[in-house]
Structure 1
Amino acid sequence: MKLMAFGLGYSATAALRRLAPKEAIGTTRSAAKAAALAPLAEMHLFDGSGGTADALRPALSGVTHIIVSIAPSEGSDGGDRVLPVLAEALADRKSLASIAYLSTVGVYGDHGGAWVDETSDCRPKSARSVARLKAESQWLAFGARVGVPVAVLRLSGIYGPGRNAFVNLMEGSARRLVKPGQVFNRIHVEDIAAAVERAFATKAGGLFNITDDEPAPPQDVVAYAAELMGAPPPPEQDFETADLSPMARSFYGENKRVANGLGKSALGLAYAYPNYRSAFDRMWAEGSWR
């Protein structure tokens, strides 16, 4: 395996560690991040511009697998940042066997708390989710054109080491916002890595929700973490009157329960962290939350 990771961030790094490819190429927009990630992969600076694409082309020789984890550009011309400048270079790679595109369940938009699956209507509300849905279509079309399977992995709220309610409680930033009826799904970063591994192993193409089994109210998640820590939970706050950034408030404008059955059946994915309680129990016991 020679792995190309466009956007070697939190989730893609977990996938790279799990896959342990013979060769790994990664991109980031930050020179500091590139230096920090250099022990894991041959790093290149890439921001979607033609200049950074030209510098990256030689590294694509022999690439067998691709992970795309770059946020799309927004606006009327928004969409994927990779394909406009590298589609033809990637199409010429006869070695290419499989692509995993890391997307978001945000593309479903608001469904009033109802269950959604991969056949449900997409009603994205935010500009970022509209752009993400367009990028999904672009990668699926590219895969169809070149005959390479593209697995679009729609991820729910990501947590794992260094990013979780324990950390927020320790830092004093945890909040228990209460909006009646509001639920969110979550996904541990190691289950994302496992989903990428299974997508590559099965050479699956299409849409897959990668999310836990149990959509839950966010205030319950914080309270459970506090209980495990033996710490008092932060007081409940009414969502309507809480002081929130526009982005934070926008997340609460979408309410849905996301089903994950297709990933289990088609990819053979078995979740190591099927709900927040079992995940937090294990993370706290192992110390893997830090």
Structure 2
Amino acid sequence: MKAEQNRILIIACGDIGGGVAEHFLAQGWAVSAMRRNISQLPDGVEGIAADLTDAQSMAQCPPLAADYVLFTLTPARGDGGYEAVFQQGLERVLAKLSRAPKRIFFVSSTGVYDQVDHEWIDESSATEPSRASGQSILKAEQRIAEAAQEQGCNYSLIRFGGIYGPGREHMLNKIRTGECAPQEPLHYTNRIHRDDCVGFLSYLIEQDAQGAVLENCYIGVDTEPASIQEVQSWVAEFIGVPYRCNGEAVQRTGSKRCRNQRLLASGYRLLYPNYRAGFTQILAAPAQEKPEITG
């Protein structure tokens, strides 16, 4: 008897979700994905055209059902952009689930941590974000946990650090124009390559499908947190430009060093275990490939 086909639904399917979609299409899974413009979805994905920030659009959305639901939300533009997506939009999607999935996966952020003294943190560390963005994401995490309990299913939160990889040039542009962060105050950053985001999410979903026991929360970062000053200095030397610190101090939440022991204990092996490996791959790529570098 032929095994039943696994089904995954990706909500707000952008770059990371698209990578996961391509992975599972190659594995023979049925993949559906929701986004406003479904023409940008990978070939083979069943598109669901809906805007989760628009109540009328979501009212017209068909019932949603899958074995696995992956949320890869990004904030809407403008004031209230986080609340529009992470509270109101999330609630609309949850209301459309016609049956409980086996597990809900929610892409979160290390922005839910607000530690400032370069301390090491892990999944059990206090989550007391002072910024509105972190507070909104934390509320969404809590709602996912509540929804999973209500529906009788499992869930996993994946708190990614700063994602870098092909496609964005914000930090690279700063380095080229001499707008690196000043030497003081020292500010630690945590990052993960885009391909490891896709790889880790895909790995966890596959592990669950194979019956492995997953944690409810993972920090998704590489193995070597480093100060923004160290990273920018290294990149400047790599691309052959002067390292000039004429920019503003980092304004993002806190300065902490995130541990990834739980990620490693899951059995996943990072493609890019530190910033040097990741940025070497990006910066050595052909010129037509735009590098994404975020702090």
**TM tier, shorter chain?**
0.7 to 0.9
1:212 aligns with 2:218: no
TM-score of the pair, normalised by structure 2 = 0.80
Q: Indicate if the aligned counterparts of 1:71 and 1:132 stay in contact, CA closer than 8 A.
A: no
Aligned to 1:283: 282
Q: C-alpha distance in 2, partners of 1:80/1:25?
A: 22
- The residue type equivalent to 1:228 in the other structure is F
Q: Say if 1:112 and 1:37 are closer, same or farther in 2 by CA, change over 3 A.
A: same
Q: Say if 1:284 and 1:55 are closer, same or farther in 2 by CA, change over 3 A.
A: same
Q: Indicate if the aligned counterparts of 1:169 and 1:226 stay in contact, CA closer than 8 A.
A: no
Aligned to 1:51: 56
Identity of aligned residues (%): 22
Q: C-alpha distance in 1, partners of 2:86/2:40?
A: 28
Q: C-alpha distance in 2, partners of 1:129/1:184?
A: 16
- The residue type equivalent to 1:35 in the other structure is S
Q: CA RMSD in A?
A: 2.8
1:176 pairs with 162, 166, 180, which one?
180
**Gapped runs of 5+ residues in structure 2?**
1-5, 209-213
Aligned to 1:222: 232
TM-score of the pair, normalised by structure 1 = 0.82
Q: C-alpha distance in 2, partners of 1:167/1:149?
A: 39
Aligned to 2:29: 22
Q: Say if 1:78 and 1:39 are closer, same or farther in 2 by CA, change over 3 A.
A: closer
Task: Please give the secondary structure, in 1, of the residue aligned with 2:91.
Answer: helix
Q: Say if 1:2 and 1:208 are closer, same or farther in 2 by CA, change over 3 A.
A: same
Q: Which has the higher helix share?
A: 1
1:85 aligns with 2:92: yes
1:70 aligns with 2:77: no
> What does the per-residue CA deviation read over 1:228-259, in whole Å, with 9 as the maximum and x for residues that have no partner?
33x2134112645xxxxxxxx531x5111111
> What does the per-residue CA deviation read over 1:172-231, in whole Å, with 9 as the maximum and x for residues that have no partner?
5673112332110111111111121122123324111000111112232233223333x2
Give the drift of 1:260: 0.7
**1:205-284 maps to which residues of 2 (within 5 A)?**
205-229=215-239, 231-237=240-246, 239=248, 250-251=251-252, 253-265=253-265, 267-284=266-283
Length, aligned pairs only: 271
1:2 aligns with 2:7: yes
Task: Please give the secondary structure, in 2, of the residue aligned with 1:109.
Answer: coil
Give the drift of 1:66: 1.2
Q: C-alpha distance in 2, partners of 1:193/1:76?
A: 25
- The residue type equivalent to 1:236 in the other structure is C
Q: C-alpha distance in 1, partners of 2:199/2:157?
A: 14
Task: Please give the secondary structure, in 2, of the residue aligned with 1:237.
Answer: coil
Q: Indicate if the aligned counterparts of 1:167 and 1:289 stay in contact, CA closer than 8 A.
A: no
Q: Indicate if the aligned counterparts of 2:174 and 2:180 stay in contact, CA closer than 8 A.
A: no
Give the drift of 1:115: 0.6
